[in-house]
Chains A and B, each alone.
Chain A
């Protein structure tokens, strides 16, 4: 939405849309254990079985959308000998 539209329509419709998406996710999250934490733990456990990485070089991003959400896991793996992805696979 352009700035012009925002002024013309008022910001309330944006507030309404953001709340609807947010609360749809929060209501689901309430009824189940910490899904994001669980995913993070299990994904990292699987990867660490095959490659070594530093826990603080892991970035996890979540983008919640109305119909689709994305979970982005970025792990920095050092290219030292005996330590790389190529070797591990």
Chain B
């Protein structure tokens, strides 16, 4: 049975697209069939982060409008054959996304994939509400910072009221993914701690992604961090989060500031 996930946050720049790409690639490396969909009409970036920007021919809106068939618009990842991307339109108006159109596309994808991951645009407008509309579960990406936490709270409210599942009276599964976490700054009282964020948002934790130069490096080269450097700290945190999505019980590791034995031996490259 296909799982429809939305990666959302309210606030921009917290790591939705990075996390969509990293989790999609992590799930695909486990052998699952995965499609990631960019809902950010007009400001698409998932193609760029996935390294597929030069291969986009058709997009989600073309499929909705009937200009292209779904298989024509799906871009197969060059490194993982069971990972696919459905890009957003860069030129169309976001009003071209219709609720019926999105519902039909997701229904068709359910027959082909194990995981359908919807990368939400920032904000709470049409693109964001349609990205979450058909989700079975949601990943709320949050930075340990006041504006991000506030916006996450707002998004949690929308997930509990505006999704098809919520309107049917079911509870949408919500998972918190804390990104750009710096253990040292939290310990010094300069950054909200994991406990602070969990207490304020009262949502189960999916994973903690440490702040790392590897994340920027991965987007620079157009490769999800779980493919670019699978041994790096953020990649390992994403692999653990993906395993938890599959239902595995993985103990939560709070990233520490200190350099581990591996890093001491092999230097900064492994950080």
Q: Report if B192 contacts A (CB, 8 A).
A: yes
- Which residues does B use to contact A, with CB under 8 Å? 145-146, 149-150, 153-154, 157, 186, 188-193, 196, 200
Q: State in angstroms the CA–CA spacing of A46 and B196 once bound together.
A: 44
Interface size class of A (residues with CB under 8 A): 10 to 19
Decide if A10 touches B200 in the complex (CB within 8 Å).
Answer: no
Interface residues as binary, A1-44 with B (CB distance below 8 Å gives 1, 0 otherwise): 00000000111110110111011001100100000000000000
Decide if A23 touches B200 in the complex (CB within 8 Å).
Answer: yes
Decide if A16 touches B196 in the complex (CB within 8 Å).
Answer: yes
Q: State in angstroms the CA–CA spacing of A28 and B189 once bound together.
A: 29
Residues of chain A contacted by B193 (CB below 8 angstroms): 12
| Chain B interface helix/strand/loop/mixed | helix
With both beta carbons as reference points, the residue of chain B lying nearest to A13 in the complex is identified as B189
In the assembled complex, the CB of A44 is this many whole angstroms from the nearest CB of chain B, namely: 29
In the assembled complex, the CB of B227 is this many whole angstroms from the nearest CB of chain A, namely: 34
| Chain A interface helix/strand/loop/mixed | helix
A10-B189, A13-B189, A26-B153 given; 16 more Cβ-contact pairs under 8 Å: A9-B189, A10-B188, A10-B190, A11-B189, A12-B193, A12-B196, A15-B196, A16-B196, A16-B200, A19-B149, A19-B150, A19-B192, A20-B200, A26-B154, A27-B153, A27-B157
Q: State in angstroms the CA–CA spacing of A27 and B155 once bound together.
A: 11
Decide if A12 touches B150 in the complex (CB within 8 Å).
Answer: no
With both beta carbons as reference points, the residue of chain A lying nearest to B156 in the complex is identified as A27
Q: State in angstroms the CA–CA spacing of A84 and B237 once bound together.
A: 69
Contact partner, A19, options B186, B188, B189, B200, Cβ 8 Å? B200
Q: State in angstroms the CA–CA spacing of A11 and B191 once bound together.
A: 7
Q: State in angstroms the CA–CA spacing of A15 and B192 once bound together.
A: 7
Q: State in angstroms the CA–CA spacing of A19 and B146 once bound together.
A: 7
With both beta carbons as reference points, the residue of chain A lying nearest to B153 in the complex is identified as A23
Q: State in angstroms the CA–CA spacing of A30 and B150 once bound together.
A: 13
Contact partner, B150, options A9, A10, A16, A22, Cβ 8 Å? A22
Q: State in angstroms the CA–CA spacing of A42 and B190 once bound together.
A: 44
A30-B157 contact, Cβ under 8 Å, with A12-B186, A19-B200, A23-B200: yes
With both beta carbons as reference points, the residue of chain B lying nearest to A6 in the complex is identified as B189
Decide if A12 touches B153 in the complex (CB within 8 Å).
Answer: no
- 3 closest A-B pairs by CB: A10-B189, A16-B196, A12-B189
Q: State in angstroms the CA–CA spacing of A19 and B196 once bound together.
A: 10
Residues of chain A contacted by B149 (CB below 8 angstroms): 19
Decide if A12 touches B190 in the complex (CB within 8 Å).
Answer: yes
In the assembled complex, the CB of A64 is this many whole angstroms from the nearest CB of chain B, namely: 13
Q: Which of A19, A22, A27, A30 has the most CB of B within 10 A?
A: A19
Q: State in angstroms the CA–CA spacing of A55 and B150 once bound together.
A: 33
Contact partner, B190, options A11, A18, A20, A27, Cβ 8 Å? A11
Residues of chain A contacted by B191 (CB below 8 angstroms): 12
A23-B157 contact, Cβ under 8 Å, with A12-B190, A13-B189: no
